[in-house]
Amino acid sequence: MPDLTPAYDIHRSYEDNYKEGPFIKGEILPRTLIRKRKFLGFEVNSLLGIPAGPLLNSRWIRAYAALGFDLPVYKTVRTRAMPSHPNPNCMFLKVTGQIKEDDFGRPLVATDDSPSRVDEISITNSFGMPSRDPKIWQEDIEKARGVLGEGQILIVSVVGTPGERDLADDYAKGAAFAKEAGAHVIEINLSCPNVVTKEGSVFTDSLVSSAISKSVKLAIGETPLIIKIGYIADLQCLADMLAANAPHVNGVSGINTLPFAVIGQNGAPALPGEGRRIAGVCGAAIRQCAMAQAARVVALARKEKYDFSVIGVGGVMTTQHIQDYFNLGVDAVMSATGAMWDPWLAYKYWKETNLL
Ligand SMILES: Cc1cc2nc3c(=O)[nH]c(=O)nc-3n(C[C@H](O)[C@H](O)[C@H](O)COP(=O)(O)O)c2cc1C
Q: What is the DSSP annotation of 190-205?
A: --SB-TTTSSSBGGG-
Ligand 1 atom at minimum distance from 8 CA: 1
Dihedral sign from CA coordinates of 187, 8, 355, 146: positive
Q: DSSP readout, 39-59?
A: ETTEEES-SEEE-SSS--SHH
226 sits in which H/E element: strand 225-229
pLDDT of the residue at 1:
43
DSSP letter assigned to residue 31: -
Q: Whose CA is nearest to atom 23 of ligand 1?
A: 314
With contact defined as beta carbons under 8 Å apart, do 261 and 236 qualify? no
What region does 275 belong to: left with phi over 0, alpha with psi -120 to 50, or beta?
Answer: left
3-state secondary structure of 215: helix
Q: How far is the CA of 183 from the centre of ligand 1 (A)?
A: 19
Residues with a catalytic annotation lie at: 192
Report the pocket of ligand 1 as residue ranges, CB < 6 Å.
51-54, 75-76, 90, 125, 127, 129, 157, 189, 228, 256-257, 282-283, 286, 313-316, 335-338
What pTM was estimated for this model as a whole? 0.97
Calpha distance 238→204 (Å, rounded): 8
CA distances from residue 233 to 178, 238, 311 in whole angstroms, order as listed: 32, 8, 18
Q: Whose CA is nearest to atom 13 of ligand 1?
A: 53
**CA nearest neighbour of 345 among 114, 68, 152:** 68
Q: How far is the CA of 76 from the centre of ligand 1 (A)?
A: 10
> How long, in residues, is the chain?
356
Q: Whose CA is nearest to atom 3 of ligand 1?
A: 53
CA distances from residue 330 to 92, 134, 322 in whole angstroms, order as listed: 28, 33, 10
Q: Whose CA is nearest to atom 18 of ligand 1?
A: 256
**CA nearest neighbour of 90 among 63, 114, 74:** 114
Q: How far is the CA of 74 from the centre of ligand 1 (A)?
A: 11
Alpha-carbon Rg of the chain, whole angstroms? 19
Counting Cβ atoms within 10 Å, is residue 160 exposed (0-12), middle (13-18) or buried (19+)? Answer: buried
Calpha distance 337→144 (Å, rounded): 21
Calpha distance 208→196 (Å, rounded): 8
pLDDT of the residue at 192:
84
HSE, CB side, 13 Å, CA atoms: give it for residue 49: 28
What are the tens digits of pLDDT across the range 153-165?
999 999 999 886 8
pLDDT of the residue at 200:
78
Pick the CATH number of 47-83+128-257+291-352 from 3.40.50.2000, 1.10.150.300, 3.20.20.70, 3.30.1330.40: 3.20.20.70
Calpha distance 228→255 (Å, rounded): 7
Positions of the chain with pLDDT under 70:
1-3, 32, 164, 354-356
Name the residue of 50, 256, 316, 330 to mutate for ligand 1: max ligand atoms within 8 A of Cβ.
Answer: 256
Q: Whose CA is nearest to atom 21 of ligand 1?
A: 282
